[in-house]
Structure 1
Amino acid sequence: MQVIIVGCGKVGRNLAEQLQAEDIDITLVDVIADKIDDLCENIDAMGIVGNGASINTLMEAGVDTADILIAVTASDELNLLCCLIAQKANHCQTIARVRNPIYEKEIGFIKERLGVTMIINPEFAAAQEISRLLRFPSAIKIDTFARGRVELLKFKVLPEFKLDGMSVSQISDAFRSDILVCAIESRDNVSIPGGDHIIHDGDMVSILASPLNAAAFFRKIGLKTNQVKNCIIVGGGTISYYLAHALLDMKIGVKIIEQNKNRCEHLSELLPDATIINGDGTNRSLLLEEGLSESESFVTLTNLDEENVFLALFAKSISDAKLVAKVNRLEFDDVIDSLDIGSVIYPKNITADYILQYVRATQNSIGSNVETLYHILDGNAEALEFAIREESAVTYIPLAELNLRKNLLLGCLNRNGRIRIPRGQDMIQVGDTVIIVTTHKGLRDITDILEK
């Protein structure tokens, strides 16, 4: 498969690094030669210096034979123009990053009339992820499958849960909850556990379950499951707008602190039910005055990673609020995770996961598609949802009889909207969607779960 990436910023770079592991021919296009040179030193790709909206540049990049063109420059309009030209030149599939809220209601028109195959909005996707966390504040991370019917939730094991020293199978028996423990991160390692794996206080545990069953399990171990009542957001950018809109729809009180007066006036017009404060969100006195110590949630969305992390640490020291911090730089994620500041959102990762999911689905040719894909365990594992289109080597055979690969869990079966944690005698059927959690990278078809 041949993929052209136009734009070698943070998203383009992250995407190129991930696609390199997919055995894909990558061509990079950017107007800045240094970006191309730097990226081509680290990954096996061809680089073209030029404007991605120029037909001559795209022809030099091989658009006439490309399978997919992905435009992720800083300009929405340039991304759309790149896709339009590529589609006219070759009828290849096209993916555009489009961030401006003004286009949000026009996505259908853009895809239908301009022929853009897929539109990615990182800010909207990040806001949706944050809103899920504020709906279920005890979780550190929530990923959704089966159109929201199944969730992958990560939480930290605390002493008051009384889970320390229990095995995974004992937890299932003791709490009688229809959940599956599918990943555990401890100080020493990350793993996809078997039934005899022992859980300890301080571990990060990820479970698969329906929202109802997950809530029931969390109540049994003493975790708060009610959504927050109010939220303070520092930074009034695009993510803040999308997030505030979602939270207001959930009847959650919203207060946005933004330093730019013109932006505050604009947000006041767009979000009449939110409280917009013109001020410095890093000012300690202002935060205390606006009720940070009593707030149920605090989200830091400034343009500076350091500010976001620092503010979350400050909030942690004076309140019990659910904390969410946005981080753009991916290089120091292990350091940030060690600070234990609650939930950290990486918009660049969200974008790359969506695009990678689509690319992998288009590579498939054996009767099942990758519907959903998330990188978990700090990128050491993947959680994937496959839609089963036709019979194969894994269908209509009891799961206990399948020769599954090691370090792989078959997590959930979704059959006609009914969610089930599968047992040994269950079978995968045509029409199902199946959720897999594995440390094996690059699964493209459901038959890849079998030992070769």
Structure 2
Amino acid sequence: MKIIIVGDGKVGYTLTDKLSREGHDVTVIDNNPAALKNTTDRHDVIGIAGNGATFSVQQEAGADKADLLIAATSADELNLLCCMVAKKLGTQHTIARVRNPEYSEQMSYLKDELYLSMHINPELAAAEEISRILRFPSVIKIEPFSKGKAELVEIRLAEGNPLIGVSLNALQNKFQVKVLVCAVKRGEAVYIPKGDFVLEENDKISISASPSEISALFRKLNLVQYKVKNVMIAGGGRIAYYLTRQLATMGIKVKIIENDPERCRELTSLLPATMVIYSNASDKEMLHEEGLEDMDAFVALTGLDEENIIISLYASACGVPKVITKVSNIAFPAMLEKLGLDTVVSPKDITADQIVRYVRAMENSVGSSMESLYKIANGEVEAMEFRIRSGLPFLGTPLKDLRLKKEVLIACIVRNGKTIIPGGNTTIEAGDSVIVVTANEDVRDLMDIVD
């Protein structure tokens, strides 16, 4: 596909990296020649210096023949204008990054009038992911599928966990739950496990099942299911604003630490029920005065990765049960794990995954369409949800008779609102939602899972 990306910042660069790796014809527009040179030196893409909202620059980029234009600059208004110009020139699909809360709330009403195929808000998406984790603080990550009918959760097997030493063949009978372990991160290695795989201490495992079955498993594993009631947030940016609003609906009390006095006044006005503290989040005396040790969770959302990592480590050392860290550039995820920071959120990666899902859905073959796409196991494994339509060649064929590619697992099927953990005799039928977990980079469509 021919794709134009306007804006070569964090989100734009991440999109360029992911979409060019998937073989798309990518053109990047930015008014910073130095940033463009860095991108074109590292990726097989075309770079055009200029204003991406002008007809002349978009014409030079080939917008009249483009399948998709993604506007990911730092200015919402510019992104919307880029998409309108692209549609006028003949681009088939457009996606705009819209971050301002005032605009974001209106996008569902204005999408058609603004010629948008999709709008994305990295900060809102990050807040939603953090909110999901705080509902189930025992997990590292939780991803919903099929409108919440199925979930994929990631946990680490700490010392004494009853799953240690259990083979996957024996798991369901031993614990009397219908779940499937679909990916395991062990040290630097990642496995799509088979039935004879035996779990070990410190494994990071991804489990798929219905929410009720996952809750039943957690009870049998004696995983602490405490309810988060008090949260401290370091940094008062947009993510903090969106997250606080979501947590308020869950009855959770929030304290925000922000070092910009003007932003403190804004937040106090926007969130009158929330305590906003004007201070530096790295001031440990202040953290203790504000009750750090009494918090159920600590979320580091400052604008500096280094500060987020340091204050997260300090919160963890002070005994806060759940610590979540925002990191924009996750260059060394294994290092963060070794430091004890398991729950890390990257807004740009969440956004990029949403757009990659949309792009793959545009490419999907007759018979299925991609509904969801998540990265698990430190981004080394993909979990994809496909909605099945008639026309798929292997409809009605038992899974045991399908020649699945290596590193591919059908983790879950949702049929008529019921979640099925598949066995050898299970079939895929029209109307199903099928969740595929894979470490095979060649799998982008449901047709790709079979040899």
TM over 0.5: yes
Partner residue of 1:61? 61
Partner residue of 1:223? 223
CA distance in 2 between counterparts of 1:227 and 1:421 reads 28
Partner residue of 1:408? 408
Partner residue of 1:137? 137
- Alignment of 1:270 onto 2:287: no
> Letter of the aligned partner of 2:47 in structure 1?
G
CA distance in 2 between counterparts of 1:364 and 1:166 reads 38
When the two chains are superposed, the root-mean-square deviation of aligned CA atoms in Å is: 1.2
Task: Provide the secondary structure at the position in 1 that maps to 2:356.
Answer: helix
TM-score by length of 2: 0.98
Please say if residues 394 and 446 of structure 1, whose CA atoms lie closer than 8 Å, have aligned partners that are also in contact.
no
TM-score by length of 1: 0.97
Task: Provide the secondary structure at the position in 1 that maps to 2:403.
Answer: coil
Partner residue of 1:14? 14
Partner residue of 1:157? 157
CA distance in 2 between counterparts of 1:105 and 1:320 reads 33
CA distance in 1 between counterparts of 2:441 and 2:73 reads 27
Counterparts of residues 32-51 of structure 1 (less than 5 Å): 32-51=32-51
Please say if residues 69 and 91 of structure 2, whose CA atoms lie closer than 8 Å, have aligned partners that are also in contact.
no
Task: Provide the secondary structure at the position in 1 that maps to 2:105.
Answer: helix
Please say if residues 79 and 97 of structure 1, whose CA atoms lie closer than 8 Å, have aligned partners that are also in contact.
yes
Q: C-alpha offsets along residues 74-128 of structure 1, whole Å, 9 cap, x if unaligned?
A: 1111111100100111042000111110112211233121111100000000000
Of the structure 1 ranges 440-449 and 104-113, higher mean CA displacement relative to structure 2 is found in: 440-449
> Letter of the aligned partner of 1:280 in structure 2?
N
CA distance in 1 between counterparts of 2:319 and 2:337 reads 19
Please say if residues 253 and 274 of structure 1, whose CA atoms lie closer than 8 Å, have aligned partners that are also in contact.
yes
> Letter of the aligned partner of 1:421 in structure 2?
I
**CA distance 1:214–1:338, shift in 2 (3 Å):** same
Partner residue of 2:331? 331
Task: Provide the secondary structure at the position in 2 that maps to 1:160.
Answer: coil
CA distance in 1 between counterparts of 2:142 and 2:135 reads 10
CA-CA distance at 1:155 after TM superposition: 0.7
CA distance in 2 between counterparts of 1:72 and 1:268 reads 29
Partner residue of 2:298? 298
CA-CA distance at 1:29 after TM superposition: 0.6
Please say if residues 366 and 445 of structure 1, whose CA atoms lie closer than 8 Å, have aligned partners that are also in contact.
no
Please say if residues 32 and 49 of structure 1, whose CA atoms lie closer than 8 Å, have aligned partners that are also in contact.
yes
Please say if residues 415 and 433 of structure 1, whose CA atoms lie closer than 8 Å, have aligned partners that are also in contact.
yes
> Letter of the aligned partner of 2:27 in structure 1?
T
Identity fraction in percent: 44
Of the structure 1 ranges 103-112 and 231-240, higher mean CA displacement relative to structure 2 is found in: 103-112
CA distance in 1 between counterparts of 2:281 and 2:162 reads 38
Partner residue of 1:343? 343
Of the structure 1 ranges 214-223 and 350-359, higher mean CA displacement relative to structure 2 is found in: 214-223
Partner residue of 2:108? 108
Please say if residues 2 and 26 of structure 1, whose CA atoms lie closer than 8 Å, have aligned partners that are also in contact.
yes
> Letter of the aligned partner of 1:34 in structure 2?
A
Which blocks of at least 5 consecutive residues in structure 1 are unaligned?
none
CA-CA distance at 1:193 after TM superposition: 0.6
Aligned residues: 451
Task: Provide the secondary structure at the position in 2 that maps to 1:208.
Answer: strand
**CA distance 1:59–1:375, shift in 2 (3 Å):** same
Of the structure 1 ranges 51-60 and 219-228, higher mean CA displacement relative to structure 2 is found in: 219-228
CA-CA distance at 1:342 after TM superposition: 3.5
CA distance in 2 between counterparts of 1:179 and 1:228 reads 25
Partner residue of 2:75? 75
Q: C-alpha offsets along residues 143-178 of structure 1, whole Å, 9 cap, x if unaligned?
A: 221122211111110122132222122222211111
Please say if residues 369 and 444 of structure 1, whose CA atoms lie closer than 8 Å, have aligned partners that are also in contact.
no
Q: C-alpha offsets along residues 328-355 of structure 1, whole Å, 9 cap, x if unaligned?
A: 1132333223211231101111000000
Task: Provide the secondary structure at the position in 2 that maps to 1:113.
Answer: coil
Partner residue of 1:199? 199
Q: C-alpha offsets along residues 25-47 of structure 1, whole Å, 9 cap, x if unaligned?
A: 11111101111111111111111
CA distance in 2 between counterparts of 1:442 and 1:82 reads 32
Task: Provide the secondary structure at the position in 1 that maps to 2:63.
Answer: coil
Partner residue of 1:94? 94
Partner residue of 1:119? 119
Of the structure 1 ranges 339-348 and 298-307, higher mean CA displacement relative to structure 2 is found in: 339-348
> Letter of the aligned partner of 1:360 in structure 2?
R
> Letter of the aligned partner of 1:282 in structure 2?
S
Please say if residues 135 and 226 of structure 1, whose CA atoms lie closer than 8 Å, have aligned partners that are also in contact.
no
